[in-house]
Amino acid sequence: MRIACPMRSRILSMMLIACCLSVCLIRPARADDFTVVKGLAFSETVPALTLDLYLPKASADPSPCVIVIQGGGFRPQNGQRFKPFAEHLAKHGFTAALISYRGSPDHRFRDTLADVKASVRFVRNVAEKYQIDADRIGAAGRSAGGTLAALLAVTGDHDDPDSRIQAAVCFAGVFDFVSRFTKQEQLEIQPNAKKKRKTNGEWIGPEFSPEDPQWLAASAITHVDPSDPPILLLHSRDDSTVPWFQSRDMHRAMTEAGVDAEIRVYETGGHSVSPKDRNSLDDMVEFFQKRL
């Protein structure tokens, strides 16, 4: 017969509590890894759009900054679902700007792109205050956010050099709206292609036509030229929402233009190459560490 020992039970209980506390402290990003400045108005729109700055631990040198662009079907976004992106970047020494932007049905793609560019100009304007290196600004986004990150990369100097970025990482973005709805290999793996063409059209403007200037202008692949900054394209081969061929073709176009472009294709993951995927997050950080 085993006799219970009160002292032994207390010791075991204390050990269990200690273990639980140590597990709780193992988190992807801790509050003391970075600080957050919330609700900075960066646009002249009414109401003004805002962004949150995730600042890494203080360093002797200014940190590079990454504009974090949330996806969501080209609808208006406040960025909050992509906090894990910003936290991961801040933990690794980057300042991250988690932005909001306008979208369909009330606003078209030029409005959304203008919002994203305004966030870059704002970051440059406050760079000294927040110890940011204004010459090292990148962008990262998933899905619609990946589309916008690519557009920002390839059109940054079209209207205002202050909105130009130095690198971009695009997760599962659309880079050629025309091929998305005309190429058979892409239509075959998009079960709701007709519906997507309609919702994409609400953001771009006119009814779809392969020759329409607006649909071409909304396609980052149209703007690729040798002056574009380095870009990393991440996609899952089994993505049935945005076919991985989009990243394949964008990578090919950039490589042929002499742009520093890389691609990572994951065998599985669907359209959810997401902030919870450590592989894709680490690929993003590694790329920015080399290019910013």
Whether residue 4 has pLDDT greater than 50: no
pLDDT of 249 > 70? The answer is yes
- Classify burial at 104, counting beta carbons within 10 Å of its beta carbon; exposed 0-12, middle 13-18, buried 19 or more: buried
Give per-residue pLDDT as tens, 29-75: 455 789 999 999 999 898 999 999 999 998 889 999 999 999 999 99
Cα 168 to Cα 268: distance, rounded to the nearest angstrom: 23
56 vs 96: CA distance, rounded Å: 9
Cβ atoms < 10 Å from Cβ of 164: 20
- How many of the other CB atoms lie within 10 Å of CB of 93? 17
| Single-letter amino acid code for the residue at 275 | P
- What is the C-alpha separation between 134 and 131, in angstroms, rounded? 9
Rounded Cα distance, 167 and 231, in Å: 6
The tokens for 83 are: 């906090």
pLDDT in tens, 174-224: 999 999 999 999 999 998 899 999 999 999 999 999 999 999 999 999 999
- What whole-number distance in Å separates Cα of residue 250 and Cα of residue 168? 13
- 14-23, 133-142, 232-241: which has the minimum mean pLDDT? 14-23
Cβ atoms 94, 23 nearer than 8 A? no
**Structure tokens that stand for 24 in this block:** 């709780």
Sign of CA dihedral 50, 161, 260, 128: negative
* Token reading at 57: 């631990």
Cα 110 to Cα 107: distance, rounded to the nearest angstrom: 8
With CA atoms as reference, report the closest residue to 165 among 152, 174, 175: 152
- Phi, psi for 247 (deg, rounded to 5): -70, -40
Which domains does the chain show, CATH number per domain?
33-291 (3.40.50.1820)
Determine contact, residues 82/114, Cβ cutoff 8 Å. no
For 134-190, the pLDDT digits (tens) are 999 999 999 999 999 999 999 986 667 789 999 999 999 999 999 999 999 999 999
Q: Are 212 and 206 within 8 A, CB to CB? A: yes
In angstroms, the CA 184 to CA 180 distance is 9
Query: Phi and psi at residue 11, in whole multiples of 5°?
Result: -65, -45
